[in-house]
Amino acid sequence: MKSPRFFTFLLSLFALLSNCKKSNSGTPSTPIGPTPVQETAYSFPGAEGFGRNAIGGRGGRVIKVTNLNDAGAGSLREAINATGARIIVFDVSGTITLNSSLSIRNGSVTIAGQTAPGDGICLRNYALGVDADNVIIRYMRFRLGDVSRQESDALGGRFKNNIIIDHCSMSWSVDECTSFYANENFTLQWCIISESLRNSVHSKGPHGYAGIFGGRQASFHHNLIAHHDSRNPRFGEEAGKAFALTDLVDYRNNVIYNWSNNSAYGGEAMNINLVNNYYKPGPATLKRERIFSIDKNKIVGTEVYDIWGKFFIDGNFVEGSTRATSDNWTYGVYNQFHSSYGTVSDADKAAMKLAAPLQINNNVTTHTAQAAYTRVLDYSGASFKRDAVDSRIINTVRKGNYTANGSAGSVNGIIDSQADVGGWPLLNQLTAPLDTDGDGMPDEWEKANKLDHTKANATGRNLSTGYDNIEVYINSLVKTITESQSQL
């Protein structure tokens, strides 16, 4: 008599043969899914500096911006004001005319401007403020203008943690184009900061400033700063506060063009690296060798009164000045103090000069200043699809010229209104790709990557051990830029 174990064996063999027959009969078998790439995830591939560990909306829901309205269902404002971890993608391109300021108050958010079909997204009339922790903003444009008569920056934030701003374009501000200081673990990288408005609507009179940069573990690298009167940048923290004593600002591989009355200045009691930046004087430039005009706080009673900062300054290239290039300190710094300081003592000069850089643990791919000049002009700003403004700015830097004089007295590329250079360009719209399951990833891309385009799986880890599926898609759109910009 056959044992039960024998009959169990026969049944298993029959099932196996039956499955083999089905596979060979032409009936398609279940497709094999993708194999996740083993990788360590930063904010995104190419994220560098101290802000590179911000995770934004990773693990959260996907919110689609479906119109260019100031507010309401499907608007960017509604997506920004939502709570919880979220990744914001776009089904539209164009300029969003804000009717009031916009502030990110709920953190754990990623704004992925590169997902916009067509020419991308621009905000105008009011500022975007970053007032939350754990924020990623990529491939967006912030072009304020004077129509709303706001005395504000185009983009800015302070007193927050874990923020990275990547490949954005800021211009036509009434105060500074972009100011980020007194934050911790922050990066501003591969951005274009251009054409702040000088004789505009600010109640204090002429401005035209690039920005205020500071922070504790704050990185500013591979940015283009062009056509500003001053604050190119202004290094500073909250005025007079002891925070500056323990900050760390790393400023490297930036390109500065056509500053007028002042290049970089400030730095009261701060700790700053200025490494391998490229300074290109333009038609408006008055102090053509100025790398950095160092200041100290002169207000009695403040927490940092009469304290010089500590600075490592090396490898900066000043176009047109062999001596300032070969000796940054003697010609680009020590002879650039404001006249109100009189003669700065040799002891003070020696004390402010660091012999070794402040430690950043190699968290930025560092080019020579000359190589950075090429890379920044090729890839900075919202460069997935550069608009007419950024293309024009890049062209003026390459040629060493400018577009226009200001309409209220400014000259040589320092402008007074966005109207001086033609105003906001048209950003063309394209139809968003089909996304059957509404998870933010187009059907064709999901199919190509062996995902199920009928089942929402944005937060899956089918493609990467470090990034959500939706992040892999977002990052793939700009992969060529990411890989090319950092080549040494």
| 94 membership: H or E segment, kind and range | strand 94-97
Q: What are phi and psi of 181, to 5 degrees?
A: -155, 165
231, 234, 252, 375: which is the annotated catalytic residue? 231
The angle that helices 369-379 and 388-399 make with each other, rounded to 10 degrees, is: 150
- Which tokens in the block code for residue 343? 């003669």
Give the position of tokens 């304290």: 307
Helix (H) or strand (E) holding 375: helix 369-379
> What CA–CA distances, in Å, run from 271 to 101, 248, 258, 274, 410?
33, 5, 26, 10, 34
- How far is residue 289's CA from residue 281's CA, in Å, rounded to a whole number? 8
What's the distance, Cα to Cα, between the start and end of the chain in Å?
A: 77
* 250 vs 187: CA distance, rounded Å: 9
d(CA 407, CA 280): 25
Length of the chain: 488
Distance of alpha carbon 113 from the chain centroid: 11
CB 448 within 8 A of CB 458: no
Q: Give me the DSSP letters along 60-118.
A: SEEEEE----SSSTT-HHHHHH--SSEEEEES--EEEE-SS-EEE-S-SEEEEGGGSST
- Active site annotation includes 61: no
Q: Contact 143/389 with Cβ under 8 angstroms?
A: yes
Q: What angle do CA 407, 412, 417 make, to 5 degrees?
A: 30
What sections of 187-254 are H helices per DSSP? none
Distance of CA 290 to the CA centre of its chain: 25
Rounded-to-integer distance, Cα 220 and Cα 254, Å? 8
> Does residue 34 have a cis bond before it (omega within 30 degrees)?
no
Q: By three-state DSSP, how is residue 231 classified?
A: coil
Is-contact 57 110, C-beta < 8 A? yes
Beta strands in 327-436 (DSSP E): none
Hey, how many other C-beta atoms are within 10 angstroms of the C-beta on 461? 15
DSSP 298: -
CB of 180 within 8 A of CB of 142? no
Q: Which residues are catalytic?
A: 231
